[in-house]
Amino acid sequence: MHIHKFEQFWIKLSFVLIAFFIVTVVYGFVAMDLKVIGDHATIDPQNLADTKFGNPGVREVTRNGQTEYEVYVQTIQFAFNPGTAQPIVVPANTRVTFYITSPDVLHGFDVAGTNLNTMSIPGQVAKFTTIFPEVREYGIVCNEYCGPAHHVMEGKIKVVP
Ligand code: CUA
């Protein structure tokens, strides 16, 4: 059977590309060791009850003589706890450190209208510190597809005086 040389070229190229895509995906999963970038720790997603995530919410802490806040959030199909059933309430102009993890699947934690945005990965704790400068409300959205009700996974942060 005769195959035109241009056709042969494109057939070969398509196999090379397919091989390249497979290698890229395998490399992504195996070699790169998917992690939240930045300050993070690992956690057993099956046993959050025995950690601070077992009682998620806002905690007042004193650090270097200053009052600060820690917020422990679980991202769950399809809600933020806290955040969805009740808002996360924190004061303005105070350091707030978020600790975020997931007991089920990958979620996002994106504070709409800000650059606060992290993945929430089962087995990993995402952490970031911020100061909300003004009294207002912020929406939280999940920006990682997490299942059929992903699009309704929303929450709220209430910054109070
Ligand atoms: Cu949770 Cu999408």
Per-residue HEC secondary structure of 28-65 comes to HHHHCCCCCCCCEEECCHHHHHHCHHHCCEEEEEEECC
CATH value at residue 81: 2.60.40.420
pLDDT band at 68 (very low <50, low <70, confident <90, very high): very high
Structural domain of residue 19, as residue ranges? 1-33
pLDDT band at 38 (very low <50, low <70, confident <90, very high): low
pLDDT band at 28 (very low <50, low <70, confident <90, very high): confident
Q: Is 144 in the pocket of ligand 1 (CB under 6 A)?
A: yes
Mean pLDDT of 8-30: 89
Locate the ligand 1 atom nearest the alpha carbon of residue 106 and give its number: 1
Same-domain status, 95 and 29: no
Kindly tell me the sign of the dihedral angle through the C-alpha atoms of 22, 150, 79, 68: positive
Q: Is 104 in the pocket of ligand 1 (CB under 6 A)?
A: no
CB-based contacts of 43, cutoff 8 Å, min separation 6: 51, 53, 101, 123, 124, 125
Locate the ligand 1 atom nearest the alpha carbon of residue 143 and give its number: 2
Same-domain status, 105 and 132: yes
Q: Is 142 in the pocket of ligand 1 (CB under 6 A)?
A: yes
pLDDT band at 101 (very low <50, low <70, confident <90, very high): very high
Reduced to 3 states, what is the DSSP secondary structure of residue 86?
Answer: coil
Q: Is 100 in the pocket of ligand 1 (CB under 6 A)?
A: no
- Report which protein residue has its CA nearest ligand 1's atom 1: 107
pLDDT at 58 over 70: yes
Mean pLDDT of 29-47: 70
Residue 103 CA neighbour count, 13 Å, CB half: 18
| Ligand 1 centroid from CA 144, angstroms | 5
pLDDT band at 41 (very low <50, low <70, confident <90, very high): confident
Same-domain status, 152 and 91: yes
pLDDT in tens, 119-154: 999 999 999 999 999 999 999 999 999 999 999 999
**Number of domains present in the structure of the chain:** 2
| Ligand 1 centroid from CA 113, angstroms | 18
Same-domain status, 86 and 148: yes
Task: Give the span between the Cα atoms of 38 and 126, in whole angstroms.
Answer: 8
Locate the ligand 1 atom nearest the alpha carbon of residue 105 and give its number: 1
| Ligand 1 centroid from CA 10, angstroms | 40
Q: What angle do CA 29, 154, 104 make, to 5 degrees?
A: 40
Q: Is 154 in the pocket of ligand 1 (CB under 6 A)?
A: no
